[in-house]
Amino acid sequence: MRIAIDTNRYRDFCEGRDDAVSCLRRASQICMPFCVLAELRAGFACGTLARRNEGALSIFLNSPRVKMLFADEQTTFHYARIFRQLREQGTPIPTNDIWIAALVQQHNLLLFSRDAHFDALPQLGRV
């Protein structure tokens, strides 16, 4: 199983939540979208445990099963279609989450997130 991890599920993993740990153990590949990395680092910058959190993140990112995902030109087409769909449905979601959804579609991944607003995108596979 190839998954894209959202910010909240990375935090669940770090906190040792059984469901998150179990899912990540089963995944053959764990993809982290660039905006998830940015959200995590923004949180670290605002907290008091930045060094510790950055160290744990570095270990996670250096796992051979973890791959960073960055937007490219093809991603922008997925983003535009998703943006239009959400607008037509009247179900907006945060911009970073549109990028995550676009990368999930582009790379044919399952999304690992607790955010209910992704339910507005039934075409996304979910864990």
Tens of pLDDT, residue by residue over 15-71, are: 999 999 999 999 999 999 999 999 999 999 999 999 999 999 999 999 999 999 999
pLDDT at 59: 97
Q: Is the dihedral of CA 91, 92, 98, 100 positive or negative?
A: negative
pLDDT at 97: 98
d(CA 41, CA 11): 12
- Are 3 and 103 contacting, i.e. CB atoms less than 8 angstroms apart? no
Domain range for residue 108? Answer: 2-126
In the β-sheet with 29-33, what is the strand arrangement from edge to edge? 66-69, 29-33, 2-5, 110-112, 125-126
Q: Residue 82 sits in a domain of what CATH number?
A: 3.40.50.1010
- Are 89 and 112 contacting, i.e. CB atoms less than 8 angstroms apart? no
Please count the structural domains in the chain. 1
Q: What is the pTM of this model?
A: 0.94
At 21, the amino acid letter reads: V
